[in-house]
Chain A
């Protein structure tokens, strides 16, 4: 499963796109836990999860083919 990263998360992880070892579906909440396990350097960083360019809640089920992005607190304008 590919995950897009932006801003501070991208810098801490060192890449704008990572691949997680997920071949089946996963809930957004479990994806969040997996991110913290795989990348301890982002411990404490908050982010929302976007699936196919829409924000989703933790119960949302993500498929490996979905476009997933981690959205840190936004600061446009």
Chain B
């Protein structure tokens, strides 16, 4: 595994969990995002995720750096799966460990919010009667910051 990883393989969450543990860390928070069958009354048959892999891994690492600045002492690892995913499959795993639980919770939620804003990964929903690439165009106003 890599600390920040895009992979087509099923996510073995125990590896990411173990990665964040050392003698300083008293709390580990793990989030897994799963493929949901029903969204606003529409039944998803499966999902197809695509990524711009090298940039996506770089952006995941940047999220880890941001977390390190906001919550010093937190260890982060994030993996996102691509390709065809079935209902209940794990699409993303985020593990944040910290000496105390408050920082691990906060850092974990921060990570998923940032993934949804900045990481070049796309989800296509495949329904019984059609399909569509999902994207949130509200994220694309001019307020978006250029990379440093």
A residues within 8 Å of B by Cβ?
4, 6-8, 11, 46-48, 50, 53-57, 60, 69, 71-77
Contact = CB atoms under 8 A, between A and B. Distances in A.
B118 interface: yes
B122 interface: yes
B146 A55 contact: yes
Q: Is chain B's binding surface mostly helix, strand, loop or mixed? A: mixed
B35 to A, nearest CB: 11
Contacts of B127: none
Nearest to A58: B142
A48 B122 CA distance: 14
Contacts, number: 89
Interface of B: 33, 49-52, 54-56, 58, 80, 91-92, 112, 115-124, 133-137, 139-140, 144-147
A77 B112 contact: yes
A77 to B, nearest CB: 5
